[in-house]
Amino acid sequence: MSDPVFFRPALSPSLAEILDWTGAKADPADPAAVISRVAPLDEAGPGDLAFFDNPKYLDALIATRASACLIAERFANRVPPETLALVTPQPYRAFATVLARMYPDAIKPGSYFGSTGTGAGAFVHPQARLEADVTIDPGAVIGPGAEIGSGTTIGPNAVIGAEVRIGRGCFIGAGVKIAHALIGNHVLIHAGAAIGQDGFGFAVGRRGHMKMPQVGRVIIQDDVEIGANTTVDRGMMGDTVIGEGTKIDNLVQIAHNVRIGRHCLIVAQTGISGSTELCDFVSVGGQAGFAGHLHVGAGAQIAGQSGVIADVPEKARLGGTPARAFRDWLRAHVVLDRLAKGPPNKKGKDR
């Protein structure tokens, strides 16, 4: 069986071009030498570009056979003689810059079938409005009054509901469902995500739980990325908002009336309860949970598996359940560990 390569480089840049793109510093013997591939340190060979940004991989750096390596200045002297050190203060970001030039298709996915236009079996309602250069893959459904901007791709079996607005240069993955939503430009929504469905709202009582109608919207601003199988509920009366540049991982639940600021990072399996607000540049680790009606200040960092039950000041670092200052959480772990082990016996060993 063949070993398929799903991403092929669109170009093979010279070392001089890479230095120009990244601002890295080096003195190559041959600036015109070409990089044909990118590879991890331990797999790289002649013609390959690698990067080093984590001291855990120092052994792999020392043994690498890569032609060039993006690396911070303090580690540059550990690069093997046959590997050119491309010195930059941010090797990982510089590597991303090169990857984006070499593999543009990996930044914004295209049609699953490599096609353009409206595929066989897709349904576009006569009252829907599509700008030029929109691709609709087979099986997708576009509802009445929906508007889709130029350069946008709608994946197979996606459903775009009535009156939904999707901006330009977007990618909507296979099986995505979008309703009651306004979506900006250059938004990526990966397979299986659900946007704009009912929020979880009920008036509880002894005679049963009365459903609270959810009559709001979802607003997703420009340059947002939403991972596979993530769900974003529409607002009950107002809007659920995802701010510009925010990146959301797979399997995240965002409840009704949540407001997420600009350039936030939210890792997989996080749940954010209704009407909680995350300000700009908040980072959330995986499996964190937020109670409802909270305010999380700008620049706050929430560790994975934290349970946030109170407002969070800006730039705070929290962890644990209930979430507390990160240092306090670590101290509590140390104390509990000592208590669990008990006092040492007379020979100085644990019981």
**H/E element, 135:** strand 135-136
Which one-letter DSSP state was computed for residue 108?
A: S
CA distance 37 to 4: 16
CA proximity to 68, closest of 89, 95, 100: 95
> 260-275: b or e for each residue (b if 16 or more CB lie within 10 Å)?
bbbbbebbbbbebbbb
Nearest to 292 by CA among 280, 278, 306, 309: 309
75 touches 59 (CB < 8 A): no
Residues labelled as active-site residues: 256
**162-172 CB burial, b ≥16 within 10 A, e <16:** ebbbbbbbbbb
211's enclosing H/E stretch is strand 210-211
Q: Are 117 and 99 in contact (CB under 8 A)?
A: no
87, 26 Cβ separation under 8 angstroms: yes
Closest CA to 188 of 169, 160, 203: 169
Contact (CB, 8 A) for 155 and 141: no
